[in-house]
Structure 1
Amino acid sequence: MPRVVYNTATTLNGYLADDENSLSWLFAVPGADEAESSFSTFLSGIGALVMGSTTYEWLLHHEGLVESPEKWFYPDIVSFVLSSRRLPRLPGADVRYRSGDVESLWPEVAAAAGERDVWIVGGGDLVGQFADAGHLDEIRLSVAPVTLASGKPLLPRRLESDSLRLESVTAAGQFAELVYSVRRPSEP
Protein backbone atom coordinates (compact mmCIF):
# COMPACT_ATOMS: atom_id res chain seq x y z
CA MET A 1 0.00 0.00 0.00
CA PRO A 2 1.53 3.36 -0.94
CA ARG A 3 2.11 6.08 1.62
CA VAL A 4 0.27 9.38 1.12
CA VAL A 5 2.40 12.48 1.64
CA TYR A 6 1.35 16.12 1.71
CA ASN A 7 4.44 18.14 0.77
CA THR A 8 3.97 21.90 0.50
CA ALA A 9 5.27 25.33 1.38
CA THR A 10 3.35 27.44 3.86
CA THR A 11 3.55 30.82 5.49
CA LEU A 12 4.48 31.09 9.15
CA ASN A 13 0.80 31.53 10.00
CA GLY A 14 -0.43 28.59 7.92
CA TYR A 15 -1.47 29.85 4.49
CA LEU A 16 -0.71 28.14 1.17
CA ALA A 17 -1.66 31.09 -1.01
CA ASP A 18 -3.16 34.53 -0.64
CA ASP A 19 -6.83 35.32 -1.29
CA GLU A 20 -6.19 35.50 -5.06
CA ASN A 21 -4.45 32.08 -5.06
CA SER A 22 -1.11 33.80 -5.63
CA LEU A 23 2.21 32.35 -4.46
CA SER A 24 4.12 35.59 -5.01
CA TRP A 25 4.94 35.62 -1.27
CA LEU A 26 6.79 32.30 -1.72
CA PHE A 27 8.86 33.35 -4.72
CA ALA A 28 10.04 36.48 -2.89
CA VAL A 29 11.72 34.50 -0.07
CA PRO A 30 15.53 34.43 -0.38
CA GLY A 31 17.06 30.95 -0.24
CA ALA A 32 14.21 29.13 -1.99
CA ASP A 33 16.73 27.25 -4.16
CA GLU A 34 18.34 25.76 -1.06
CA ALA A 35 14.93 24.73 0.26
CA GLU A 36 14.14 23.02 -3.06
CA SER A 37 17.46 21.17 -3.30
CA SER A 38 16.03 17.91 -1.92
CA PHE A 39 12.83 18.08 -3.97
CA SER A 40 14.14 15.92 -6.83
CA THR A 41 14.90 13.15 -4.33
CA PHE A 42 11.38 13.44 -2.94
CA LEU A 43 9.88 13.39 -6.45
CA SER A 44 11.81 10.24 -7.40
CA GLY A 45 9.80 8.35 -4.77
CA ILE A 46 6.40 9.48 -6.10
CA GLY A 47 4.27 7.12 -8.18
CA ALA A 48 1.11 9.25 -8.39
CA LEU A 49 0.07 12.74 -7.44
CA VAL A 50 -3.29 14.27 -6.66
CA MET A 51 -4.31 17.92 -6.79
CA GLY A 52 -7.47 19.96 -6.68
CA SER A 53 -8.74 22.13 -9.50
CA THR A 54 -7.49 25.42 -8.01
CA THR A 55 -3.92 24.08 -7.81
CA TYR A 56 -4.16 22.66 -11.32
CA GLU A 57 -5.54 25.89 -12.78
CA TRP A 58 -2.81 27.90 -11.04
CA LEU A 59 -0.17 25.66 -12.64
CA LEU A 60 -1.85 25.96 -16.06
CA HIS A 61 -1.93 29.75 -15.97
CA HIS A 62 1.28 30.48 -14.07
CA GLU A 63 3.37 28.20 -16.26
CA GLY A 64 1.50 28.74 -19.55
CA LEU A 65 0.81 25.01 -19.85
CA VAL A 66 -2.22 25.33 -22.12
CA GLU A 67 0.01 26.95 -24.76
CA SER A 68 3.03 24.75 -23.94
CA PRO A 69 1.86 21.41 -22.50
CA GLU A 70 5.34 19.94 -22.95
CA LYS A 71 6.37 22.04 -19.91
CA TRP A 72 4.24 19.84 -17.61
CA PHE A 73 6.40 19.26 -14.54
CA TYR A 74 5.51 15.62 -13.97
CA PRO A 75 5.68 13.77 -17.31
CA ASP A 76 6.53 10.40 -15.72
CA ILE A 77 4.04 10.52 -12.85
CA VAL A 78 0.36 9.63 -13.10
CA SER A 79 -1.49 12.80 -12.08
CA PHE A 80 -5.05 13.03 -10.79
CA VAL A 81 -7.00 16.29 -10.76
CA LEU A 82 -10.16 16.34 -8.68
CA SER A 83 -12.86 18.69 -9.83
CA SER A 84 -16.57 18.81 -10.49
CA ARG A 85 -15.89 21.21 -13.38
CA ARG A 86 -14.58 20.56 -16.88
CA LEU A 87 -10.91 21.65 -17.04
CA PRO A 88 -8.45 22.22 -19.89
CA ARG A 89 -6.66 19.03 -20.98
CA LEU A 90 -2.91 18.72 -21.39
CA PRO A 91 -2.06 16.73 -24.51
CA GLY A 92 0.66 14.16 -23.92
CA ALA A 93 0.45 14.28 -20.11
CA ASP A 94 -1.00 11.44 -18.04
CA VAL A 95 -3.46 13.66 -16.20
CA ARG A 96 -6.65 11.93 -15.10
CA TYR A 97 -9.59 14.18 -14.30
CA ARG A 98 -11.91 12.79 -11.66
CA SER A 99 -14.80 13.91 -9.49
CA GLY A 100 -16.32 12.37 -6.40
CA ASP A 101 -15.04 11.52 -2.97
CA VAL A 102 -11.50 10.52 -2.05
CA GLU A 103 -12.54 7.08 -0.79
CA SER A 104 -13.99 6.17 -4.21
CA LEU A 105 -10.88 7.43 -5.97
CA TRP A 106 -8.41 5.74 -3.59
CA PRO A 107 -8.17 2.30 -5.28
CA GLU A 108 -7.26 3.89 -8.64
CA VAL A 109 -4.71 6.26 -7.05
CA ALA A 110 -3.12 3.46 -5.02
CA ALA A 111 -2.89 1.21 -8.09
CA ALA A 112 -1.29 4.01 -10.14
CA ALA A 113 1.31 4.67 -7.40
CA GLY A 114 2.27 1.02 -7.11
CA GLU A 115 5.15 0.64 -4.66
CA ARG A 116 5.88 4.36 -4.59
CA ASP A 117 4.28 7.20 -2.61
CA VAL A 118 1.28 9.36 -3.46
CA TRP A 119 1.92 13.10 -3.27
CA ILE A 120 -1.02 15.31 -2.41
CA VAL A 121 0.04 18.55 -4.07
CA GLY A 122 -2.85 20.64 -2.73
CA GLY A 123 -4.95 22.33 -1.83
CA GLY A 124 -5.56 22.18 1.83
CA ASP A 125 -9.16 21.05 1.65
CA LEU A 126 -8.20 18.11 -0.59
CA VAL A 127 -5.57 17.07 1.95
CA GLY A 128 -8.25 17.34 4.61
CA GLN A 129 -10.43 14.95 2.62
CA PHE A 130 -7.56 12.43 2.52
CA ALA A 131 -7.08 12.86 6.28
CA ASP A 132 -10.83 12.41 6.88
CA ALA A 133 -10.73 9.17 4.83
CA GLY A 134 -7.73 7.87 6.81
CA HIS A 135 -5.38 8.06 3.82
CA LEU A 136 -2.81 10.63 5.00
CA ASP A 137 0.51 9.30 6.29
CA GLU A 138 2.90 12.24 6.31
CA ILE A 139 2.90 16.03 6.25
CA ARG A 140 6.08 17.73 4.98
CA LEU A 141 6.10 21.50 5.38
CA SER A 142 8.56 24.12 4.20
CA VAL A 143 7.66 27.03 6.45
CA ALA A 144 8.57 30.41 4.97
CA PRO A 145 9.32 33.53 7.03
CA VAL A 146 6.20 35.25 5.72
CA THR A 147 2.81 36.01 7.23
CA LEU A 148 -0.36 36.86 5.35
CA ALA A 149 -3.43 38.60 6.74
CA SER A 150 -5.63 35.96 5.08
CA GLY A 151 -5.56 33.36 2.36
CA LYS A 152 -5.97 29.67 1.58
CA PRO A 153 -5.37 27.61 4.75
CA LEU A 154 -2.73 24.91 4.97
CA LEU A 155 -5.14 22.22 6.16
CA PRO A 156 -8.64 23.33 7.13
CA ARG A 157 -9.21 20.40 9.48
CA ARG A 158 -8.59 19.80 13.13
CA LEU A 159 -5.78 17.29 13.69
CA GLU A 160 -4.85 16.88 17.33
CA SER A 161 -1.33 16.30 18.63
CA ASP A 162 -2.12 12.65 19.38
CA SER A 163 -2.42 12.00 15.64
CA LEU A 164 0.75 13.89 14.62
CA ARG A 165 4.33 12.97 15.46
CA LEU A 166 7.25 15.26 14.68
CA GLU A 167 9.84 13.23 12.77
CA SER A 168 12.37 15.89 11.75
CA VAL A 169 13.18 19.59 11.65
CA THR A 170 15.74 21.04 9.25
CA ALA A 171 16.80 24.54 8.27
CA ALA A 172 17.10 25.16 4.53
CA GLY A 173 17.93 28.75 3.70
CA GLN A 174 15.19 30.88 5.24
CA PHE A 175 12.82 27.89 5.46
CA ALA A 176 12.14 25.52 8.35
CA GLU A 177 11.37 22.07 7.01
CA LEU A 178 9.08 20.07 9.29
CA VAL A 179 8.10 16.44 8.78
CA TYR A 180 5.20 14.92 10.73
CA SER A 181 3.93 11.37 10.54
CA VAL A 182 0.16 11.06 10.74
CA ARG A 183 -1.40 8.30 12.77
CA ARG A 184 -4.34 6.81 10.93
CA PRO A 185 -7.57 6.52 12.91
CA SER A 186 -7.32 2.70 13.03
CA GLU A 187 -3.78 2.75 14.54
CA PRO A 188 -3.26 2.57 18.31
Structure 2
Amino acid sequence: MKGSPSSLISKLKEQPGKDIWLIGGGDLIREFLKEKLVDQFMIAVIPVLLGKGIPLFKQDFPVHNLKLSNTQIYNEIVMLSYDKKQ
Protein backbone atom coordinates (compact mmCIF):
# COMPACT_ATOMS: atom_id res chain seq x y z
CA MET A 1 0.00 0.00 0.00
CA LYS A 2 1.27 3.48 -0.86
CA GLY A 3 0.95 6.64 1.21
CA SER A 4 1.79 7.84 4.67
CA PRO A 5 1.46 5.65 7.78
CA SER A 6 -1.39 7.85 9.05
CA SER A 7 -3.40 7.41 5.82
CA LEU A 8 -2.86 3.63 6.02
CA ILE A 9 -4.03 3.55 9.65
CA SER A 10 -7.11 5.65 8.77
CA LYS A 11 -8.06 3.19 6.01
CA LEU A 12 -7.54 0.21 8.30
CA LYS A 13 -9.67 1.75 11.07
CA GLU A 14 -12.57 2.06 8.61
CA GLN A 15 -12.64 -1.74 8.32
CA PRO A 16 -14.15 -4.11 10.89
CA GLY A 17 -11.79 -5.41 13.54
CA LYS A 18 -10.16 -4.38 16.76
CA ASP A 19 -6.43 -3.65 17.07
CA ILE A 20 -3.82 -3.09 14.37
CA TRP A 21 -0.68 -5.15 14.79
CA LEU A 22 2.47 -3.79 13.14
CA ILE A 23 5.24 -6.31 12.63
CA GLY A 24 8.55 -5.06 11.34
CA GLY A 25 11.98 -3.76 12.12
CA GLY A 26 13.17 -0.46 13.50
CA ASP A 27 12.92 1.45 10.21
CA LEU A 28 9.24 0.56 9.78
CA ILE A 29 8.41 1.28 13.41
CA ARG A 30 10.23 4.62 13.24
CA GLU A 31 7.92 5.82 10.46
CA PHE A 32 4.83 5.05 12.56
CA LEU A 33 6.37 6.57 15.70
CA LYS A 34 7.09 9.83 13.85
CA GLU A 35 3.34 10.21 13.35
CA LYS A 36 2.54 9.09 16.94
CA LEU A 37 0.69 5.98 15.73
CA VAL A 38 2.17 3.38 18.11
CA ASP A 39 0.37 2.83 21.42
CA GLN A 40 2.01 -0.37 22.61
CA PHE A 41 5.17 -2.39 22.05
CA MET A 42 5.19 -6.19 22.36
CA ILE A 43 8.75 -7.48 22.53
CA ALA A 44 9.52 -11.21 22.55
CA VAL A 45 12.61 -12.43 24.37
CA ILE A 46 13.75 -15.65 22.72
CA PRO A 47 16.54 -17.55 24.49
CA VAL A 48 19.12 -17.72 21.69
CA LEU A 49 22.50 -16.08 22.21
CA LEU A 50 23.85 -14.36 19.11
CA GLY A 51 27.34 -13.07 18.57
CA LYS A 52 26.22 -10.74 15.79
CA GLY A 53 22.93 -9.58 14.40
CA ILE A 54 20.92 -6.67 13.11
CA PRO A 55 19.91 -4.19 15.82
CA LEU A 56 16.18 -3.58 16.16
CA PHE A 57 16.75 0.18 16.38
CA LYS A 58 19.55 2.30 14.94
CA GLN A 59 21.84 4.32 17.21
CA ASP A 60 20.04 7.60 16.57
CA PHE A 61 16.62 6.17 17.49
CA PRO A 62 14.82 8.68 19.74
CA VAL A 63 14.15 7.79 23.39
CA HIS A 64 10.61 6.67 24.20
CA ASN A 65 9.49 6.25 27.81
CA LEU A 66 7.51 3.05 28.24
CA LYS A 67 5.62 1.37 31.06
CA LEU A 68 5.54 -2.42 31.42
CA SER A 69 1.88 -3.44 31.16
CA ASN A 70 2.00 -7.23 30.85
CA THR A 71 4.27 -10.26 30.74
CA GLN A 72 3.43 -13.68 29.37
CA ILE A 73 5.47 -16.86 29.07
CA TYR A 74 5.03 -19.24 26.13
CA ASN A 75 7.28 -22.28 26.63
CA GLU A 76 10.76 -20.70 26.42
CA ILE A 77 9.65 -17.29 25.09
CA VAL A 78 8.84 -14.30 27.30
CA MET A 79 6.50 -11.69 25.78
CA LEU A 80 6.84 -8.22 27.28
CA SER A 81 4.10 -5.66 26.61
CA TYR A 82 4.88 -1.99 27.08
CA ASP A 83 2.53 1.00 26.81
CA LYS A 84 3.70 4.50 26.01
CA LYS A 85 3.87 6.71 29.10
CA GLN A 86 1.47 9.65 28.86
Using the size of structure 1 for normalisation, the TM-score is 0.39
Write out aligned runs for 1:174-185 (5 A): 174-183=76-85
Unaligned stretches of 5+ residues in structure 1 = 1-97
SS of match in other structure, 1:109: helix
Are positions 1:172 and 2:63 aligned together? no
Deviations 1:91-126 (A, max 9, x none): xxxxxxx123212323112212x4510010213321
Tell me how large the CA RMSD over aligned residues is.
Answer: 2.1
Which AA in structure 2 matches 1:147? L
Question: Which one scores higher on RCO, CA 8 angstroms, separation ≥ 6?
Answer: 1
Structure 1 runs (4+) greater than 6 angstroms displaced: none
Q: Radius of gyration: which is bigger? A: 1
Are positions 1:147 and 2:49 aligned together? yes
Percent identity between matched residues is 27
Tell me the distance in 1 between the aligned counterparts of 2:80 and 2:12.
Answer: 25
Using the size of structure 2 for normalisation, the TM-score is 0.75
- 2:12 aligned partner: 109
Unaligned stretches of 5+ residues in structure 2 = none
- Given candidates 24, 30, 47, the residue that maps to 1:122 is 24
Shift in alpha-carbon separation, 1:154–1:115, aligned structure 2, 3 A: same
